[in-house]
Structures are given as C-alpha cells and as structure tokens.
Homo-oligomer: A and B are copies of this chain.
Amino acid sequence: MSKTKAPDSSRRSERSRRAIYDAALALVGEAGYAKTTIEGIAARAGVGKQTIYRWWPSKAAVLLEAFLDLAERASEGESEIPDTGDLEADLKLVLRATVDELNSPAYDGPARALAAESVVNPELAAQFVEKLLEPQLQLYVRRLRAAQDTGGVRVGIELRTALELFTGPLTHRWLLRTLPLTHDYADAIVEYALYGLAPRS
C-alpha cells in the first residue's frame, strides 16, 4: 500500500491533499467515473490542475488514493481485524462495521462509482484489487489463520477462499441492491459461515 509522497510535508500541501481527496470522492459519487476529470477535481478542490498532475499520474491514481485514505480514516488507523480469541465476535464486529460503512452516504456514492467502473474496466479493476481490495481481504486471511492455528477454524480450509463467505454476501447485497444491509444480516452471515448449513451431529 505505497502512497505517493507529497513534495513537502507543510500544512499547506497537506490541506491541498485533503481538499483534492474530498473533491475527487464527491465528484465521482455525483457524476460517475467517466465524467470525473482532473480539471473538475482541481476546480472543486481550489487548486491548480498542475498540483494534481505533479502528485498523481492519473485520475484513477487520485481516486484510489482518496479511497485508501477514506478507508484508513474509517478504521481510525486500526488496520487489523481484532483478535479477542472469539472469532465469531470479532467477525461480527467487522461485518457490522462494514455494513455501517456501505450504508453511509459519504462512502456509498463514490464506492459505487468506482465499483461500477471496475466491473467494465479491467485495467482499473486490476489497480483497485491490488491497491485497495486485496490488502483488505488479507486482513481476513490473517485473522482466520490465527483462528486456524488455535483450533477455531478447521485444518485444511483454504483461507483466501473461505473469507469470501463473509465478504461475498455483503458485496452481493450491496452492489446488486437486493435487500437491506443490517447488523442482523451481518450476524447471520457470520454464524452460517462458521457453523455451516448442514446439521452437526
């Protein structure tokens, strides 16, 4: 998750960076990916477009970094999934937080715009997966591996596949807009994925 470095760390350039992130996310949420331009982001952020071109190579790069920043702020710097020793409780906490994030207007609009474009744009999707999505999914791998090491997840379960039992349903419901995303739903997904649908005898 390398980040483009600002040429200096003064408060002024930090303010510009923040304004550019905010403008990029707001614009893409309102206008969609195709109609968002570097010029539009610059105008909304109140900076010259050369400022943006100096720091980022492309519209996709600005947007992905704005999202990375949004995700980091949402998690308040806490990047790992908590490990209290209770896998079910830890996963419910994370999936409920994900539900809240997906339901928040500040996230929903920009995230939908980026996801929609990734669905039909393999180049953007590759960057989106590499820089944003896969690092988040690896958090699940690490938490599930800790559980597997202590007997909470069966030996032999392939963890990179298994995590999709948690993230897949939420994404399905959110992107395809089938039914409401609620905490009860998040809890049920965690319980079903951990204990399965077939009876335990």
Contact = CB atoms under 8 A, between A and B. Distances in A.
A172 B168 CA distance: 5
A102 interface: no
A195 B177 CA distance: 28
Contacts of A134: 178
A197 B167 contact: no
A117 interface: yes
How many copies of this chain are found per oligomer? 2
Contacts of A87: 198
A139 interface: no
Contacts of A165: 165, 168-169, 189, 192-193, 197
Interface residues of A, number: 54
A82 interface: no
Interface string A152-186: 11100110111011011111110111110000010
Contacts of A1: none
B176 A133 contact: yes
A192 B192 contact: no
A197 B189 contact: no
Contacts of A171: 168, 171-172, 175-176
B125 A197 contact: no
Given A154-B197, A200-B200, A129 B168 contact: no
Closest 9 CB pairs of A and B: A196-B196, A168-B168, A168-B169, A164-B169, A168-B172, A116-B119, A125-B177, A195-B196, A116-B116
Interface of A: 32, 87, 112-113, 115-120, 122, 125-126, 128-129, 133-134, 137, 144, 151-154, 157-158, 160-162, 164-165, 167-173, 175-179, 185, 188-189, 192-200
